[in-house]
Structure 1
Amino acid sequence: MDHASIDLLRDDLTRARYRVEVLDDLWGAEAAAALFRGRTLPARRVLAEREREAERAGEATAADPVVALARLFVLGQQVSREELDAALPSLTSEGAERLGLVGEGSAPGHLTARLDLRPYGFVDSLGAGSWWIVSDLGEAALGRALDEDHVLGIGGATTTLSGLMIPTPADSVLDLGTGCGIQAMHASRFARRVVATDISERALEIAALNARLNGIDTIEFRFGSLFEPVAGERFDRIVSNPPFVITPRTEGVPLYEYRDGGLEGDAIVETVVRGAAEHLAPGGILQMLGNWEYREGAGGDAIDGLGRVRSWVEDGSGLDAWVIEREQQSAALYAETWIRDGGTKPGSERFEELYAAWLDDFEARGVRAVGFGYLLLRRPRESSPTLARYERLESGLGDNPAGLGDHLARCLAGHDWEVHRDLGALLRSTLVYASDVTEERHYWPGHEDPVVMALLQGGGFGRRVALDTGLAAFVGACDGDLAVGPIVDAIADVLAVDAGALRAELVPRIRSLVDDGFLLPA
């Protein structure tokens, strides 16, 4: 790796102010939103109008370094060698060619991008951050389907996993299938050291470039499949956006390295789940994205996708598990989604060929639908697991500017707190309701008593919990002054009900509210 040239590139990008907020100001929010969807036309139209206005005013817009870089690397337009020399004065256009960022364009004296290089901004629990990320050119820039060794940049799955990452300090983190290196870079913000693996040499080269470009020197890159490069090692955290896309093992179907793990069906997710235990330190956590299949059994009975995941975890792993299904697609819709993702145009003959291959594969294996979601597995510090949550969340999330990581950490801490307290210890404890919790009440017109009450979670998963009079009174009294037992006894006295019966009714629901982050230990 040409460290000296990468360092010069970093200096030039910093000097040019090649940042997300600068580009957003350059072409506006609407064009920025279109770019996130892979559409460059709105931004190109804005810049074209700016150039026309500059010509009328006698100004030289093209001399602005950020405009030249944006046109070249974000919009896929050619720029003259002189423009790029002005935008990257330390590296120069020749240095950019040596790094493989650009090559000769179709117009004489012009250059075109060979790699995607764009700014990336984010917010996590440690604050706001900004990096530059190199990846392969996308479908919009290429004008054709992707190459099978394509190295993916920032996408929806990227930001989903980075937002889920529990950000508490860790000694060691493993990023399994690092791709362009983005998850390893996020992990480096809270970990002393990070090991990043991939089966693609090209991906590892680009990931190492990204780490150097952003001044990150705590990541070790290793080549190999799944856990092979870390045999015998254990980590405090494992994060993975594995190549989980279910792809037919049929000749002629492209196998994209960034999304296809080379195994049949959902076996890549099963393999990671089953292998996690021997690579997690006590208390260690694995967080990953994945797909799982819904199938028909031998007698025509449905085989539940989340049930399949549960069987992988509970087959001797000894791990805590919290698995959340966020979406479920029919076999046909799943096939359409991932064929389009590879850059094959719907309606084309090639699209129909691939569509048939996908549907044939699903039919042969009895797959009727595919679930997508998040997996959190933890190696207990004690001898046996205490957490086994497998749930479907179809509603929208709460407001989580820094991601869900902090919320997940609070929920795990709450679960650990309550599950290790027997009834007596719980009744002697003091709870407070979380700062994002509000109460909703609905009344019949003219009536004083509510007919519907609910607790609403503003952050996290935006959960809504139905309330009755007893639970509403309990949560309202959780201000840190009284313990659980005295609050329940006081409510029983007001409602003129048996205190023991009310306690038996409320305690399981109180534990559930602690598990979900509505109530916190004071």
Structure 2
Amino acid sequence: MDAPRHVPDLIDALRADLEGVAFDVEHVEALLGPVAAGALHREEVVPALRATTSAVARGGDDEALATLTRLFVLGCAVPRTGLDRALTWVGTDGAQRLGLVAAAGNGTDDEVRALVDLRPYAAVDGHGEATWWLASDLGELATGRALRTDHVLGVGGASTTLAQVTVRDERARALDLGTGCGVQALHASRHVTHVTGTDISRRALAFARFNAALAGIGEDRLALREGSMLEPVAGERFDLVVSNPPFVITPRRADVPAYEYRDGGRSGDDLVRDLVAGVGDVLAPGGLAQLLGNWEVRRGEPWDARVGEWLDASGLDGWVVQRELLDPAQYAETWIRDGGTSPERDPDGWAQRYGAWLDDFASRDVEAVGFGVVTLRRPHDESRARLRRLEEVTGTVQQPLGPVLAAALAAHDWLAARDDDALAHERLRVAPDVTEERYLTPGAVDPQVVLLRQGGGFGRAVQVGTATAGLVGACDGELAVGQIVGALGALLGTGADAVAADVLPTVRGLVEDGLLLPV
């Protein structure tokens, strides 16, 4: 199997080498410079090639870092002697034994080419900063070819999003369903005692095993199992399930390639539907499942109709945040290009696959495809009313959102335990990131619009009335909600009961969204 090999002593030596040459995100970007680093993020390699060529030619401290960047990130051949200098401990021979490179020969100037993409990774999630090295298959940018169908994907936008929205409190057992190269399992290993990663791809599991070993995570903390969806863990229970599943909606036709990392082999959005409906089978009480997904929006239906049915079928607390909505043509273009087919390189293949996607969507009256984050929870108290929330947030959010989601779930539970009479006895304070905006027409005394704006998290802007604005302004943690309501009733001349009926539903929403915090 052409994947990295698990050789513990050599992996330890490789880790020492990568640390020794500072092969990390900060130093690689400093080597490239802001222009070349920015271009590389846009998948344009020419500036990075020029920067690393110059660094190798200059020699000195940057030569080893430039050599590794050219080899593993840019997919360039490097001379054997240069790689031996960069990998002092493991050397070219050790890198070959690990399945990372192939050398043309044993001469000092013989070319060595990477067999994998190996690059530094840095991210900030709800647990703090995370840094590792991650191996995956070389991409189209390095190989110049369309992806193989068993391609093992590295870190992309979807996996970064999932890492940032995952709740990161301490848990005993976690499941990374569809682990791929293992990035979600690595994130979970920092706050979970034991992690299980599953994947249908043996090659993906080999990459994940290598990456875990390179990160210093032993098999006693991370177990990897082969199998489809929840089958490898049937009958088990987990406190956290994370999944970037193969959610891409792909025509089920022989002339359209299916890629293991993104295509689940199901028609339409059936895979995501079944995962949402069935993941509760492996959730312990209080357990969370967080996953990404696509869902079809059928003609004449609102986007949340189908997903709402999935939440109802799950029997769990459910919160769906739709982040993007694409029409069928946009969706087809995105994923045909993702597989390495373009109209410039293969016009016939492009046209054939484009038509297949459009035909597939038309067969089910699909007029758009949504993308978003699904959070599910098995409540400790199965008798209480379920959380059911579906919303569209397409603007900029402040990551990581994991702590925001955790706080919102806690606020929901806090509110569920308090009727309005109990809420009236509580004290609240305004969250420190909340500001108030008032809009008046020139010469007016009273504002026509009052907005409470959240500076972090989802960046919500909530329009409130005069009474609610007055209550929020008085929420400094000193007075109980009922005391403030009573004072407003006297001030406005409407009585406390009328003010309470007006403001308390909005106050509950402000608490759940984190604009007001219980003291």
Q: In which range does the TM-score fall when normalised by the shorter chain?
A: over 0.9
Stretches of structure 2 that go unaligned for 5 or more consecutive residues are 1-5
Matched ranges for 1:318-357 at <5 A: 318-347=315-344, 348-357=347-356
1:39 is matched with which residue? Answer: 44
Instruction: Deviation per CA, 1:375-433: give whole Å up to 9, x if none.
Output: 00111111244200011112221x33xx1000000111111101110111100011111
- Aligned twin of 2:3: none
Would the alpha carbon gap of residues 147 and 237 (structure 1) be closer, same or farther in structure 2, given more than 3 Å must change? same
Residue 46 of structure 1 deviates from its aligned partner by: 2.5
1:224 paired residue number: 227
- Compute the displacement of 1:446 (Å): 4.3
The CA RMSD measured in Å over matched residues stands at 1.6
User: How far apart are residue 128 of structure 1 and its match?
Assistant: 2.0
> Is contact 1:78-1:110 (8 Å) kept?
yes
Q: Write out per-residue CA displacement over residues 184-241 of structure 1, whole angstroms, 9 at most, x where no aligned residue.
A: 1101111011000000000000001000001112111010000100010011110000
Q: Partners in 2 of 1:125 and 1:377 — Cα distance?
A: 18
- CA 418–82 in structure 1, closer or farther in 2 if over 3 Å, else same: same
User: Within the alignment, does 1:97 sit opposite 2:96 as a pair?
Assistant: yes
Partner in structure 2 of residue 382 of structure 1: 381
1:163-202 matches, within 5 Å, as 163-202=164-203
Deviation at 1:44, TM superposition (A): 1.5
2:420 to 411, 420, 423: 423
1:211 maps to amino acid: A
The Cα offsets for residues 7-51 of structure 1, whole Å up to 9 and x where unpaired, read as 111111011110100011111223222222222122122334455
Please say if residues 52 and 67 of structure 2, whose CA atoms lie closer than 8 Å, have aligned partners that are also in contact: no
Q: How far did residue 62 of structure 1 move? A: 8.6
**Match in the other structure for 1:267:** 270
| Contact kept? 1:27, 1:46, Cα under 8 Å | yes
2:251 aligned to which of 248, 251, 261: 248
Q: How far apart are the structure 1 equivalents of 2:235 and 2:227?
A: 14
- 2:303, 2:148 → 1: CA distance? 31
Give, in whole Å, the separation in 2 of the partners of 1:114 and 1:442: 60
Range 272-281 or range 106-115, more displaced: 106-115
> Quick check: 2:243–2:292 contact (8 Å CA) kept in 1?
yes
TM-score under structure 2 length normalisation: 0.95
Give the aligned partner of residue 123 of structure 2.
Answer: 122
The percentage of aligned residue pairs carrying the same residue is 50
Are residues 1:141 and 2:142 paired? yes
Q: Distance between the aligned counterparts of 1:63 and 1:475, measured in 2?
A: 56
Uncovered stretches (5+) of structure 1, i.e. residues with no partner: 55-59, 297-301
Instruction: After superposition, give the CA deviation of every residue in 1:78-130 in whole Å (9 maximum; x if it has no partner).
Output: 11000100111111101111111111369960111110000011123333221
1:444 lines up with 2:441 in the alignment: yes
CA contact (8 A) 2:401 2:457 kept: yes
Compared CA separation, residues 50 and 208, structure 1 to 2 (3 A):
closer
Secondary structure at 2:453's aligned position in 1? strand
Corresponding position: 1:257 with 2:260: yes
1:498 aligns with 2:495: yes
Q: TM-score, normalised by structure 1?
A: 0.94
- Matched residue, 2:236: 233
The letter of the residue matching 1:311 is E
2:81 alignment partner AA = E
What's the secondary structure of 1:168's corresponding residue? coil
Q: Which residue does 1:299 correspond to in 2?
A: none
Residue among 296, 308, 311 paired with 1:310: 308
* Aligned equivalents of 1:185, 1:150: Cα separation in 2: 20
Verify the 8 A CA contact 1:180 1:204 in the aligned structure 2. yes
- What residue in structure 2 maps to residue 57 of structure 1? none
Residue aligning to 1:471: 468
Secondary structure of the 2:368 match is strand
Q: Which residue of 2 aligns with 1:132?
A: 133
Structure 2 counterpart of 1:33, one-letter code:
G
What is the match of residue 85 of structure 1?
84
| Residues 72 and 114 in structure 2, CA contact (< 8 A), matched pair in contact too | yes
Say whether the 8 Å CA contact 2:78–2:113 is kept in structure 1: yes
What is the SS of the residue equivalent to 1:71? helix
Q: Supply the distance in 2 between the matched residues of 1:223 and 1:305 (Cα, whole angstroms).
A: 34
